[in-house]
């Protein structure tokens, strides 16, 4: 059960309650856009939040000079990009960036966090297509990329990756002209990749594959959900066999690159013992969009979303309509359990100059509401975030939004959609100061057994302050931050934890005892953002580690 349930009614959303003509009216307060930096220097093709409150941002290295010139460096010719950064580290606390060094091209690569908090980054283009890179957060300002040659068996360009907790390794799936998967580091002495016939079956020759960057999710039974184009399977990677073949998602179009819809696992919950695993896929491109875009014709994107429970014995897609069409959108899970759909375009598909009509308005989706009440249109931004844009959730509750470059180099003017280097934060309405009396504050975590973290199945303590009396519903959620690129939030995961007890101490603090799920397939080891949510009002998150 949740930590506490009282007689008062919980807030399903963040509202102002007004009495109008004798009846209660709920009026939702506005979300806000803030500009943080006018120039990050580097396009946010890829982005990830680390447990030391830094955000790693990087682009391809083959797009020529960026807008972050390195000091004390002399270029050899006008197009020489070696004196320009192609990756930066953004400090959330200081609101500043510093340059990082990338040796090879990371264009359209993948990434996953390992259990120690390091980011394993795989593939890319050219000399980078078989490289594996690591970024390990550190206490000083000297962290940088480490690259290793030929750790991938084949070229991995437009591939996806997922962390495997039992092996403490990453599975890398697909890629352009590659219909296989492999493990990094290698799980055995073999260096050969394993064929995946599913990728052959979902391939569209005249649409740049339409099955690149497949959606990957780890089910709580340890199997992999793999979605490409319009089809999906449940895959036992240990036995190398398909466990289930799911129905084709309805709709006349594709969902994976370059059709580029997006996907999440809805929050996993202790109330059903984490047995219900439900995936959601939203948006994509209409059939024929890629070929039409090559002729300068941009077809209207898909506006449908599909939800499907992948556990159990009976699977079917439950379809819904977004308020508008969207391709190249990002889907992020918020501490409230709601899903934010942001960035992208209304027409076309992914690729250079292949989309039009930016989707300026984010959508908020509430999974547990009635079907007709789940979507809400949020305040519009004025900045187009098209191809090669991304978004991530920050520990303080804001959503960091960056990137956008439908051009094959950095172009500031003279095109429909110039290279976008401004960094924004979207501030949810529940962060408004008017809700501070409901917000859990001063979170601290106590590890009973090991000061560095807690193992699966063990308990830990969460202490916080709460100004108002306890609401009807307090929950503790753990969020695994994703690696985001090309409308994918790889390894994103939210778990609602069981709270065994909740008491107050002698100085006004609330002390909760919380249990980590025993299964590593529910909550894989690694760093998580821990948040206490009081009746729909989340605290600011603190980092904790599952060992």
The pLDDT of residue 190 is 60
pLDDT confidence of residue 211: 98
Local structure of 291: helix, strand or coil: helix
Both tokens of residue 1? 């059960």
β-pair partners for 96: 91
* Cα–Cα distance, 428 to 431 (Å, whole number): 6
pLDDT 10s digits, 353-376: 999 999 999 999 999 999 999 999
CA atoms of 290 and 259, how far apart (whole Å): 8
Q: What is the pTM for the complete model shown?
A: 0.94
pLDDT at 378 over 60: yes
Query: How is residue 117 written in tokens?
Result: 């908090």
CA of 322: how far to CAs of 53, 167, 485, in Å?
33, 38, 22
Assign residue 5 a region (left: φ > 0; alpha: ψ between -120 and 50; beta: otherwise): beta
Handedness of CA 50, 52, 54, 56 (dihedral sign): negative
Task: Give me the pLDDT at residue 253, please.
Answer: 97
Of residues 406 and 185, more confidence is placed in: 406
- Which of 325, 327, 324, 303 shows the shortest CA–CA distance to 387? 327
pLDDT of residue 78: 66
Q: Where in the chain is the domain with CATH 2.130.10.80?
A: 32-74+82-431
State percent of the chain over pLDDT 90: 86
Domain 32-74+82-431 matching CATH 2.130.10.80: the answer reads yes
| pLDDT-based confidence at residue 19 (cuts at 50, 70, 90) | very low
Query: CB–CB of 529/53 below 8 Å?
Result: no
CATH of 15-29+435-546, one of 2.60.40.10, 3.40.50.740, 1.10.3720.10, 3.40.50.620: 2.60.40.10
Per-residue pLDDT tens over the stretch 476-498: 999 999 999 999 999 999 999 99
* CB neighbour list of residue 462: distance below 8 Å, 6 or more residues apart: 443, 444, 445, 446, 476, 511, 512, 513, 514, 530, 532
Q: Quote the mean pLDDT of the chain.
A: 92
What pLDDT is stored for residue 38 in this prediction?
98
Whether cis (ω within 30° of 0) applies to the bond prior to 185 is yes
Q: Is the pLDDT of residue 75 over 90?
A: no
Q: What is the pLDDT of residue 22?
A: 35
pLDDT at 141: 82
Query: What are the pLDDT digits (tens) for 263-318?
Result: 999 999 999 999 999 999 999 999 999 999 999 999 999 999 999 999 999 999 99
pLDDT at 56 over 60: yes
Rounded mean pLDDT of 502-514? 90
Q: In what order do the strands lie in the sheet with 160-164?
A: 160-164, 169-173, 180-184, 194-195
Task: Collect all residues with Cβ–Cβ distance below 8 Å to 313 and sequence separation of at least 6.
Answer: none
| pLDDT band, residue 72 (cuts 50/70/90) | confident
| Model pLDDT, residue 456 | 97
Q: Which long-range contacts (CB under 8 A, 24 or more apart) does 334-337 make?
A: 334/393, 334/428, 334/538, 335/397, 335/477, 335/479, 335/494, 335/531, 335/533, 335/538, 335/541, 336/13, 336/430, 336/533, 336/536, 336/538, 337/266, 337/267, 337/366, 337/367, 337/368, 337/477, 337/494, 337/496
- pLDDT at residue number 24: 34
Pick the closest to residue 403 from 106, 92, 47, 45 (CA basis): 45
- For residue 162 the two structure tokens come to 């997922």
Task: Give the DSSP letter of residue 366.
Answer: -
Mean pLDDT of the 114-134 span: 97
Q: Please say whether the beta carbons of 256 and 229 come within 8 A.
A: yes
The stretch 342-346 carries a mean pLDDT of: 98
The whole-number average pLDDT for the span 533-539 is: 95
pLDDT at 217 over 80: yes
CATH 2.60.40.10, the chain: domain bounds? 15-29+435-546
CA-based R_g, the chain, Å: 23
pLDDT of 20 over the 80 cut: no
Quick one: pLDDT at residue 291? Answer: 97
In this prediction, residue 9 carries a pLDDT of 31
Pick 186 or 143 by higher pLDDT.
143
pLDDT for 494: 98
Give the CA distances from residue 318 to residues 279, 303, 309, 371, 448, in Å, rounded to whole numbers and listed in that order: 11, 14, 9, 10, 43
pLDDT at 468: 72
Tell me if 176 sits within 8 A of 212, measured CB to CB: yes
């Amino acid at each position: 059960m949740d930590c506490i349930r009282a007689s008062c009614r919980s807030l399903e959303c963040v509202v102002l309650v007004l009495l109008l003509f004798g009846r209660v009216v709920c009026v939702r307060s506005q979300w806000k856009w803030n500009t943080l930096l006018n120039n990050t220097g580097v396009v946010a093709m890829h982005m990830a939040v680390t447990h030391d409150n830094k955000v790693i941002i990087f682009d391809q290295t083959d797009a020529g000079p960026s807008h972050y010139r390195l000091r004390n460096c002399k270029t050899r010719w006008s197009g020489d990009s070696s004196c320009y950064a192609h990756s930066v580290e953004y400090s959330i606390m200081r609101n500043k960036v510093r340059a990082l060094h990338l040796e090879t091209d990371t264009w359209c690569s993948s990434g996953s966090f390992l259990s120690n908090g390091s980011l394993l980054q795989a593939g890319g283009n050219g000399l980078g297509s078989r490289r594996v890179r690591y970024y390990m957060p550190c206490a000083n300002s000297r962290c940088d990329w480490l690259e290793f040659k030929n750790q991938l068996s084949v070229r991995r360009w437009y591939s996806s990756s997922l962390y495997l907790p039992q092996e403490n390794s990453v599975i890398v799936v697909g890629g352009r002209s590659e219909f296989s998967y492999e493990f990094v580091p290698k799980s055995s002495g073999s260096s050969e990749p394993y064929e995946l016939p599913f990728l052959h079956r979902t391939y569209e020759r005249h649409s740049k594959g339409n099955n690149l960057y497949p959606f990957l999710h780890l089910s709580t039974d340890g199997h992999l959900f793999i979605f490409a184009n319009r089809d999906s399977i449940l895959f036992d990677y240990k036995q190398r066999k398909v466990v289930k073949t799911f129905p084709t998602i309805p709709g006349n179009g594709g969902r994976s690159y370059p059709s580029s819809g997006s996907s999440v696992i809805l929050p996993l919950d202790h109330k059903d013992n984490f047995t219900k695993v439900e995936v959601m896929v939203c948006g994509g491109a209409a059939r024929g969009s890629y070929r039409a875009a090559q002729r300068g014709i941009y077809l209207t994107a898909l506006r449908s979303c599909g939800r499907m429970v992948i556990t159990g014995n009976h699977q079917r897609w439950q379809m819904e309509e977004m308020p508008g069409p969207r391709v190249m959108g990002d889907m992020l899970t918020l501490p409230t359990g709601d899903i934010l759909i942001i960035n992208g375009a209304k027409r076309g598909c992914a690729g250079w100059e292949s989309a039009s009509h930016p989707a300026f308005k984010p959508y908020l989706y509430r999974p547990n509401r009635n079907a007709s009440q789940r979507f809400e249109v949020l305040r519009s931004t004025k900045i187009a975030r098209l191809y090669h844009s991304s978004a991530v959730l920050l520990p303080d509750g804001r959503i960091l939004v960056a990137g956008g470059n439908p051009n094959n180099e950095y172009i500031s003017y003279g095109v429909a959609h110039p290279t976008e280097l401004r960094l924004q934060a979207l501030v949810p309405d529940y962060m408004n100061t008017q809700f501070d009396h409901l917000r859990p504050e001063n979170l601290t975590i106590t590890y009973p057994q090991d000061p560095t973290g807690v193992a699966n199945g063990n308990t830990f303590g969460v202490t916080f302050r709460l100004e108002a009396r306890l609401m009807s519903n307090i929950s503790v959620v753990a969020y695994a931050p994703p690696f985001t690129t090309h409308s994918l939030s790889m390894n994103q995961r939210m778990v609602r934890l069981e709270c065994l007890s909740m008491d107050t101490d002698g100085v006004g603090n609330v002390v909760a005892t919380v249990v980590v799920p025993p299964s590593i397939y529910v909550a894989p080891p690694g760093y998580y953002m821990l948040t206490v949510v009081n009746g729909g009002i989340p605290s600011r998150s603190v980092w904790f580690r599952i060992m």
